[in-house]
Amino acid sequence: MTPKRTVINVVSGKGGTGKTLLSCVLADSLGNLPDAETIVVDLDVFVRGLTSLLYYHRAERLRIADAEKLCVADLFVRKLKSRDSIAGNLAIAKYRSFDVMPAVSTINQVLEYDDIVPNNHREARDIVQNLLASIPEAYRFIILDSRAGYDELISATHELSDVSICVEEQDPISRITSDNLIAQLGTSSKTPLFRLVNKARGITALEQLEESPRGVTDLGVIPFDMDVLNSFGASNFWEEISRTLYRSALIHAWNRLSAKLDLRVDLPTNRISPVGSDWLESKAGMLSWRDRVYLIYGSFLAIAGLGYGLYGEQIIHIIRGEPLRAMSLFMGGVGLISTLLVFLRIFRK
């Protein structure tokens, strides 16, 4: 039997807590698992942070979806409440390991605010229900990137989801707005609601993430990460984020959620650094793909050139007669060159 799909609603009391970033990185992590097709829906139609994050830097991709396909905004503007009107016609774009339903079909599309706000709770519920029912069944996970605060739409998405994750920051304002939202959502629906602290200060090591969270509805903390902030929306974003403590922390939080909901979809945490050191690896992660190719070719050329230059014919005898010595020469060369390159890159930054 195929497992039922899970709808995850990402909400927050105040804006800017990191819902959009979290939705994308979680989608990518889940989407990389076998049999865990994942789609993220940009429900924050006005701000459309997710649609911008994923597509804005691709200048040639100002148009995200075909004009005749339906984006999230179309559903709200046209108040599409019946499945017949949209099934098979949703704008769904492929993105790395997951799919995206964008808020709008062109990134700079102007919308009338009145048109995109549902008139009442009933209408909001009907539209979201229709949207969820029209998303192909092949998806194991649907992540809803909601807007901040409380309104009819948030209330409806919470009701229709399997779980809501409230993302908050560590400051008192964020905590209070989050308490308010959680209390309000709790009055209208029994959907489980969990808290996740983002942009936490003072976390520098993976071990700190393993400490148990404070309450049963807490999923833990995700550290503030300067590299994440800097690369948000940039073309090297995915390359940078994959190695961060941010991603590891998110995986920890997800695995807690998976255990609490008995989803049995765990993300792998035991990633072993291919260079033997997390620190060195995260620094080497700054290298672009071009630099990595140079590094590998450069190392081989340097070793061959220096080896022959320094030892002449002798190098052939060493390789033939003393393979251990040859290997140690080779490793020494690779180590020297990669260390030099990594340091050069760090200082240049």
Written as six digits, the tokens of 121 are: 């709770």
Instruction: Considering the complex, state which of residue 12 and residue 299 has its C-beta at the smaller distance from ligand ADP.
Output: 12
Burial 177-216 (b: 16+ CB within 10 A, else e): bbeebbeebeeeeebebbbbbbbbeebeeeeebeeebeee
Q: Is 234 in the site for ligand ADP (CB under 6 A)?
A: no
| Bridge partners, 197 (sequence order) | 168, 221
# of chain residues touching ligand ADP (CB under 6 A): 18
List CB contacts of 118: < 8 A, sequence separation 6 or more. Answer: 76, 79, 124, 127, 152, 153, 156
Nearer to Mg ion, 17 or 38 (CB): 17
Helix (H, G, I), strand (E, B) or coil at 212: coil
Binding-site string for ligand ADP from residue 174 to residue 203, where x marks contact by CB under 6 A and - marks none: ------------------------xx----
Instruction: Report H helices in the chain.
Output: 19-31, 49-55, 72-77, 83-86, 113-116, 121-134, 152-160, 172-188, 207-210, 226-231, 237-241, 245-261, 278-284, 289-311, 314-321, 323-348
Q: Smallest Cα–Cα separation from 65: which of 53, 77, 80, 55?
A: 55
Kindly tell me which residue out of 6, 8, 13, 19 binds ligand ADP, with binding defined by CB under 6 A: 19
Q: Does 224 bind ligand ADP (CB under 6 A)?
A: yes
Residue 273, both tokens: 């650094």
Q: Which stretch binds ligand ADP (CB under 6 A): 64-72, 91-99, 221-229, 330-338?
A: 221-229
Q: Which of residues 23-52 bind Mg ion (CB under 5 A)?
A: 44, 49
* Least distance from ligand ADP to the Cβ atom of residue 26, Å: 11
Q: Which is nearer to ligand ADP, 139 or 224 (CB)?
A: 224
Q: Report the partner that residue 16 touches, choosing among ligand ADP, Mg ion, none (CB closer than 5 to 8 A by kind).
A: ligand ADP
Decide if residue 16 touches ligand ADP (CB under 6 A). Answer: yes
Which entry of Mg ion, ligand ADP, none binds 299, CB below 5 to 8 A by partner kind?
none
Q: CB of residue 224 vs ligand ADP: minimum separation in angstroms?
A: 4
Alpha carbon dihedral 126, 129, 133, 137, in 10-degree steps, equals 170
Residues sharing a CB contact under 8 Å with residue 257, sequence separation 6 or more, in sequence order: 163, 165, 194, 219, 263
198 binds, among Mg ion, ligand ADP, none (CB under 5 to 8 A by kind): ligand ADP
Residues numbered 2 to 21 that lie near Mg ion (CB under 5 A) are 19-20
* 9-17, 158-166, 308-316, 333-341 -> range binding ligand ADP (CB under 6 A): 9-17
- Residues whose CB is less than 8 angstroms from the CB of residue 298 and which lie 6 or more positions away in sequence, other chains included: 337, 341
Residue 254 contacts which entry, Mg ion, ligand ADP, none (Cβ below 5-8 A, type-dependent): none
| Binding test (CB under 6 A) with ligand ADP, winner from 13, 31, 49, 118 | 49
Find the binder of ligand ADP among 6, 12, 105, 134 (CB under 6 A). Answer: 12
- CB of 199 or CB of 243, closer to Mg ion: 199
Dihedral, 255, 259, 263, 264 alpha carbons, nearest 10: 80
* Rounded (5°) CA angle 212-216-222: 50
> Which residues contact Mg ion (rule: CB under 5 A)?
19-20, 44, 49
Which residues make up the interface to ligand ADP (CB under 6 A)?
A: 12, 15-21, 49, 198-199, 222, 224-225, 228-229, 232, 246
